[in-house]
Amino acid sequence: MPLNDYIEKNAVFALQDYLSECGDTQANRNALSRAVKSGKVYRIRYGLYASNAGRFRDMPHSRQVVLKAAIPDAIYCYDSAFELFVGQHNLTRRTAFYTKHPQKPFSFQGHEYKPFPLPESQLLTRGYRQIDGTTVRGTTPEQTIVDSVASPDRCLGVENVLRSVSVVDSINIKELAAILEGTGTSVAARIGWVLEQKQEEWQVAEELLEELRERIGKGPYYFSPSHRRAADSYSKEWRLYFPEPLSTVRVWING
């Protein structure tokens, strides 16, 4: 297949996919190089290209299509996983994902693609159906909440984590409790505070909260990884400091 036909059918493609379909010849490699120089093809990063020809000319490329071509095993996580099950609720232009292969961040058309190493512990994931009919894989709501509360800096900060949690209508409490069994005392304190704030909406049993209170020990703990703490930010019950006053963080999580 000639390059011109290929780039009119494929929005984003890996070099090896192009060569496999069109033939791994020097002529085809040279044709791709010329197309990049002429602007008919964009080079996103080494080995990854986007078409700027035919129906794709001057059009923004779907981040799902870009990520699938770049990292086939990608699992959406943190703020990008929240977006899958509660919709877009902030103005970020990045896609966060887990992958088992070492990767560097890259950007294309003003959007950042941020990789994180796949955790060694068991990860709960599910498929999410997209508007175009495709399915992407991301962490479950329960896994996303625990991961984001455990590492808020990976989810654009404490405020973004709590505002994201605020728009989650319901979760599987048993599934979340099972994930918590493998976490430390600091995460237990953070999650305990979150569950207490959402107790009525998520139908959190008092027994689970009591179990978490018994786990956390003396503390103190910090919701911010930098251990920053503001005045009037200490939750005595959870032995937990916040980077802003309790009155402010309660607004974040309660909407």
pLDDT of the residue at 167:
93
Q: Find the farthest-apart pair of alpha carbons in the chain and give their distance in angstroms, rounded.
A: 70
Structure tokens at 183: 């976490």
The overall average pLDDT reported for the chain is 93
- The structural domains of the chain, with segments of one domain joined by +, span 3-59, 75-254
- Rounded mean pLDDT, 117-134: 88
- Rounded mean pLDDT, 147-176: 95
Whole-prediction pTM value? 0.91
Q: How confident is the model at residue 139 (pLDDT cuts 50, 70, 90)?
A: very high
- In sequence order, the β-bridge partners of residue 222 are 241
pLDDT of the residue at 130:
82
CA distances from 100 to 95, 118, 120 (A): 16, 5, 10
For residues 162 and 223, what is the distance between their CA atoms, to the nearest angstrom?
Answer: 11
Nearest to 223 by CA among 200, 182, 252, 255: 252
Backbone angles phi, psi at 188, to 5 degrees: -60, -40
Residues of the chain with pLDDT > 90, as a percent, come to 85
Task: List, for residues 180-235, the tens digit of each pLDDT value.
Answer: 998 999 999 999 999 999 999 999 999 999 999 999 988 899 998 887 788 889 99
pLDDT of the residue at 89:
59
Which 3 state secondary structure label does DSSP give 251? helix
- Rounded mean pLDDT, 92-111: 93
- Rounded mean pLDDT, 101-108: 93
pLDDT of the residue at 91:
63
Task: List, for residues 12-41, the tens digit of each pLDDT value.
Answer: 999 999 999 999 999 999 999 999 999 999
For residues 23 and 29, what is the distance between their CA atoms, to the nearest angstrom?
Answer: 9
- N-to-C CA span, the chain: 54
Backbone angles phi, psi at 58, to 5 degrees: 60, 25
